[in-house]
């Protein structure tokens, strides 16, 4: 067998032998158990057709917030237990004129009290159903 053949074989063996170690090291995530959270989101009394809902740890734990797409007024996600800050977002694409050039950006359409200035908290519990419904209001009465 040629020298090249042996070294290629050795690299292949080392590569596949090392694969399980990457999985055991816990690529991504904190290693804590996660629990399902689900519910409904209404926008001005009707199921919110689309958007994103976030559950951020309070206090922050260094992990990205759990999030899910809202579709036809419903969401389901998995997150670690504990107190969470909830944010709801519905962005639209806009074009902004930047020194004569058109730039595409995202713009939040919901009031800030539901996202950047949210004070909505929920507790994700172990061994219990974590069902949380939200009512987003954009119209003042």
Looking up residue 101, the CATH number of its domain turns out to be 2.60.40
Let me know if residue 104 belongs to a domain.
Answer: yes
Radius of gyration of the chain (CA): 22
Range of the domain at 78: 35-132
pLDDT tens column, 38-75: 999 999 999 999 999 999 999 998 889 999 999 999 99
Measure the CA–CA gap between 129 and 81, rounded to whole angstroms. Answer: 12
Residue 115's closest CA among 134, 129, 96? Answer: 134
Let me know if residue 49 belongs to a domain.
Answer: yes
* Number of domains the chain contains: 1
| 2 strand-pairing partners | none
Let me know if residue 82 belongs to a domain.
Answer: yes
Let me know if residue 100 belongs to a domain.
Answer: yes
Let me know if residue 19 belongs to a domain.
Answer: no
pLDDT given at position 111? 96
11-15, 93-97, 114-118 — which is least confidently predicted? 11-15
pLDDT band at 22; cut points 50, 70, 90: very low
Residue 138's closest CA among 107, 115, 111, 118? Answer: 111
Contact in structure between 22 and 89 (CB atoms under 8 Å): no
Instruction: List the end-to-end C-alpha distance of the chain, in Å, as a whole number.
Output: 83
Model confidence, pTM = 0.73
pLDDT band at 141; cut points 50, 70, 90: low
pLDDT given at position 101? 86
Let me know if residue 106 belongs to a domain.
Answer: yes
Contact in structure between 135 and 42 (CB atoms under 8 Å): yes
pLDDT given at position 77? 98
pLDDT tens column, 27-37: 345 578 999 99
Let me know if residue 62 belongs to a domain.
Answer: yes
Question: Which pair of tokens denotes residue 118?
Answer: 């949210």
Let me know if residue 7 belongs to a domain.
Answer: no
pLDDT given at position 17? 45
Q: Is the pLDDT of residue 124 over 70?
A: yes
- Cα-based angle 122, 123, 124 (whole degrees, multiple of 5): 115
């Amino acid at each position: 067998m040629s020298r090249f053949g042996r070294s290629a074989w050795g690299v292949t063996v080392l590569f596949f032998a090392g694969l399980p170690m990457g999985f055991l090291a816990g690529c991504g995530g904190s290693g804590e158990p996660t629990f399902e959270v689900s519910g409904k989101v209404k926008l001005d009394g009707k199921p919110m057709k689309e958007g994103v809902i976030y559950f951020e740890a309070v206090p922050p734990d260094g992990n990205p917030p759990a999030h899910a797409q809202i579709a036809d007024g419903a969401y389901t996600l998995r997150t670690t237990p504990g107190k969470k800050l909830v944010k709801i977002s519905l962005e639209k694409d806009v074009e902004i004129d930047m020194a004569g050039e058109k730039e595409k950006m995202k713009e939040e359409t919901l009031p800030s009290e539901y996202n950047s200035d949210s004070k909505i908290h929920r507790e994700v519990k172990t061994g219990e159903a974590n069902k949380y419904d939200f009512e987003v209001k954009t119209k003042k009465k």
